[in-house]
Amino acid sequence: MIEAFDVCKSFRSGRGQVAALDHVSITIMKGRLFVVAGRSGSGKTTLLNCIGTLEKPETGRISCAGIDITHLSRRAAAKFRRKQTGFVFQSANLVSYLTVRENIALPLELNAWSNDARNRRVDALLDTVCLRGMGAAMPQELSGGETQRVAFARAIAHQPAILLADEPTASLDSATGRQLIQLMQALVRESACTLIAATHDPDLIAAASETLYLKDGRKVGQL
C-alpha cells in the first residue's frame, strides 16, 4: 500500500512560485491500476516523481508498505528505486546505444542477476511484449509502439512492487495504446504489482481501478 499524507511541492520558475502539489493525500492499495489524471501542468508527473523518490516533497510524507520513503538517504532512495520501482517515461525511454535485449536486461544487471537468469527473463519478456526476435535491434529501428513495449518490459523486468508510468500511451495510436493497456492490466492481475499511471488517455482512464483527478496541484476528485 502506498500512502501520501498532505504532500506539498512547489517550484520556483519564471512565473514565480508554482504549487505543483498542494496538500495531496491519497491511498493506493496493492495490486491496483491507479490513474492520475488532469490537464497539462496539474501535477501528475510531480506526484509520480515524488512516489518514485526522484523528487522530495517539501512537506507531508509518502509511505510505501509502511516505510516512509520521503526521508530516505540518497543511497537508500537509490536502492528503493532499483529494487522496488520500475519507470516508463513518456519519451526518450531507451538507452540509444544499447540493443533491445540490453535495454531490458539493464535493471537485472543493476540487481546482479546471473547471466543465465537474465537471459531467460529477457526471452520471456520479449514474448510477453510480442517482440520475440527483436532482441538485437537498436532503439532507433523501432516504431513508437515497439519502443514503449520495450520500455514496459524493462520497467517490469526485475519484478518491481511499484510501476510508475508517465503517459505511457501518449505517443501511440489508439489500437497500439490499447494493446499496452492490456499488458498493464495483465501485469497488475498476475503479479499484484501496483501500477500508477499519469495520463490523459480515456482508454487508460477507463481501464483504471481508481482515478485521481488533479487541478493546479490539488486533488479535485477521485473515482
Ligand X SMILES: Nc1ncnc2c1ncn2[C@@H]1O[C@H](COP(=O)(O)OP(=O)(O)OP(=O)(O)O)[C@@H](O)[C@H]1O
Nearer to ligand X, 41 or 60 (CB): 41
Nearer to Mg ion, 118 or 219 (CB): 219
By CB atoms closer than 10 A (0-12, 13-18, 19+), residue 222 is exposed
- Stretch of residues binding Mg ion (CB under 5 A), selected from 38-46, 51-59, 150-158, 173-181: 38-46
Q: Any alpha helices (H) in 129-201, and if so which ranges?
A: 144-156, 174-191
Q: How far is the CB of 20 from ligand X (least distance, A)?
A: 3
- Element counts in the chain: helices (H) and strands (E): 7, 10
Cβ nearer to Mg ion, comparing 146 with 167: 167
Q: 123: which 3 cell numbers?
A: 526471452
Query: What count of residues does the chain have?
Result: 223
CA 102, CA 178: separation in Å to the nearest integer? 26
Q: Which stretch binds Mg ion (CB under 5 A): 39-47, 69-77, 111-119, 152-160?
A: 39-47
**Closer to ligand X at the Cβ: 44 or 81?**
44
Give the DSSP letter of residue 29.
-
Which of ligand X, Mg ion, none lies near 132, with the C-beta cut-off 5 to 8 A by kind?
none
Residues forming contacts to ligand X in the complex (CB under 6 A) are: 11, 13, 18, 20, 38, 40-46, 198
Q: How far is the CB of 42 from Mg ion (least distance, A)?
A: 9
Q: What is the DSSP letter of 52?
A: T
Hey, what amino acid is at 37? A
User: Does 45 help bind Mg ion (rule: CB under 5 A)?
Assistant: yes
